[in-house]
Chains A and B, each alone.
Chain A
Amino acid sequence: MNWKRLEILLPFVGVIVLLVVWSFTVWLRIVDPVLLPSPLSTFKALWAGMFHGKLGIDFLKTVERTIYSTFFAAIIAIPLGILLGSSEKLYRSVEFLIDFFRSTPASAMFPLFLVLFGVGDRTKISVAAFGAALVILFNVAYGVMNARKTRILAAKVMGASRTRVLWDVMLMESMPATFVGLRNGVSLALVIVVVAEMFIGSVDGLGQRVFEAQQMFEMPDMYAAIFAAGALGYGLNLLFLSIERRFVHWAGK
């Protein structure tokens, strides 16, 4: 028997253990079955909701909001980050502001954005974009600032102009950090969007779905929505990682 081959199955061990513990907990009635439905009824609810019910629509709605927020965050934060990073003095002068707002919980900004944009998609997307933009900005700026001095000198001695050095060297040098920023940014945007969907008068989205199912005491639906949100977060991370691997193949080597 070749044990090495079986090692690829290791990631499934945790999942199986969880399902077994969960099944036993339900079977032995350790927890009130109303609060904790069986894995089977949860996955039935997930399947039905995703492919025949409203959960699929909510899922797509949350994807749409998260993508929009990340997109707006990126188109604002990447050029700004390059600008700030290319001048250390400029970055130092706004560093405190960036760090301060990066540390401010985005949820604390909801009321402000509500006043600015009203109850609607614009508020949810702009709060999430705000949070994601700061994360991306910070990473891009540091990526540009930490560009290897020798490479910049190498380009300079070959006669490259300042703008060429910025485009050909600093921008490429900042690429790995930019992708780290994008990956963290999209995760944060998803968190903010889901929270916003729960509490800012929403009619759709995964956050609203979880919240509503809990209010109606439809526990299988609630767990199904939670799993859908988890799968979304995991999937987005995986997607960005694979783009990153292809695009910045030299990172960390």
Chain B
Amino acid sequence: MQPAVKLELSEKARAAATRTAPHVTIRGLSKKFSDATIYDNFDFDIPRGKLMSVFGPNGCGKSTLINMIAGLFPADSGEILFDGQPLNKIKFGYVFQNYREAVFPWLSAFDNIAYPLKVMGVPKKDRVVKVEKIVASLNVKIDLKLYPYQMSGGQQQLVSIMRALVVDPEILFLDEPFSALDYEMTLFMREQLQRVFQETHTTTVLVSHDLEEAVYLSDRILLLSRHPARAVEFVHYDAPRPRTDKTMTESDFIQTKAHCLEIFQREVRKG
């Protein structure tokens, strides 16, 4: 009798441990481009189920970091583990900054969103169901028969975000996803992202050049130094969701933002 109870306990403990264990572990990561060392023996843990922003000086290696994690190009050395495993068969969602060059102009919006499912070998009928589901959940009102070049910038980026989400990714990367959009669209897209995160709690890594946006959306903010990049600080911001315009007027928000800005400016001045 007793061993069974023990087993149950340890299973619970294991579940709790998995819940709180880092999702991605980065150890000893190094990366050089011809003339510059971007990362030199870099260690970092990406927490599970959190929305994390990466913020740092221009050219410090933010894109390089998420590209290496997503396996777009290899690191020179070091290891990147997912749940402690080196396996790379993980489902990523990736949203590029330059949506114009990331969506496929020869496919309709619908086929763009369905493309990753096609790559995974999902039958056509299920693809249609999945695409319709994601479109409905984001409350998107776009004619999906249109081609990207017939759509506005915001609509194209929305298509590429849905394309990233349609596979139910384990980790979602967004590289300055809103920086090419106008302000109104940016505000709308932030809310969409917040809603998606609140519903799915997918581990999310957002590269942002807008500190206000980074704090507003994030549970954690990783502040990087100039390259070779170090993690200068890992700021926690735990305001409840959904966050609204009012959140930005609260002292907790203002203090967090001011703190990040101070560190950022100190790092920039060092350069």
Min Cβ gap B44→A in Å is: 20
Would you give the 0/1 interface string for B113-132, flagging 1 where the beta carbon is closer than 8 Å to chain A?
00110011000000000000
11 contacts across the A-B interface (CB closer than 8 A): A150-B98, A150-B102, A153-B72, A154-B102, A154-B160, A158-B119, A160-B119, A168-B115, A172-B104, A172-B106, A250-B147
Min Cβ gap B53→A in Å is: 20
Q: Say yes or no for A186: interface residue by CB 8 A criterion.
A: no
Interface pair B72/A253, CB less than 8 Å apart: no
Interface pair B149/A154, CB less than 8 Å apart: no
Contacts of B148 in A (CB 8 A): 250
Interface pair A158/B115, CB less than 8 Å apart: yes
Contacts of A162 in B (CB 8 A): none
Q: Say yes or no for A159: interface residue by CB 8 A criterion.
A: yes
Interface residues in A152-167 by Cβ distance below 8 A to B read 153-160, 164
Contacts of B106 in A (CB 8 A): 172, 175, 248, 250
What CA separation (Å) do A156 and B92 show in the bound complex? 10
Residues of B within 8 Å of A, CB-based: how many? Answer: 25
Contacts of A168 in B (CB 8 A): 104, 115
Q: Say yes or no for B110: interface residue by CB 8 A criterion.
A: no
Would you give the 0/1 interface string for A134-174, flagging 1 where the beta carbon is closer than 8 Å to chain B?
00000000000000111101111111100010001100100
Given contacts A151-B101, A157-B72, A172-B106, A250 and B92 within 8 Å (CB-CB): no
Interface residues in A233-253 by Cβ distance below 8 A to B read 248-250, 253
Contacts of B163 in A (CB 8 A): 158
Interface pair A159/B116, CB less than 8 Å apart: yes
Contacts of B101 in A (CB 8 A): 148-151
**Chain B CB within 10 Å, residue with most, of A154, A169, A172, A249:** A154
Would you give the 0/1 interface string for B94-106, flagging 1 where the beta carbon is closer than 8 Å to chain A?
1010100111111
Give the 7 A-B CB pairs with smallest separation, nearest first: A253-B149, A250-B105, A158-B116, A150-B101, A157-B94, A148-B101, A154-B102
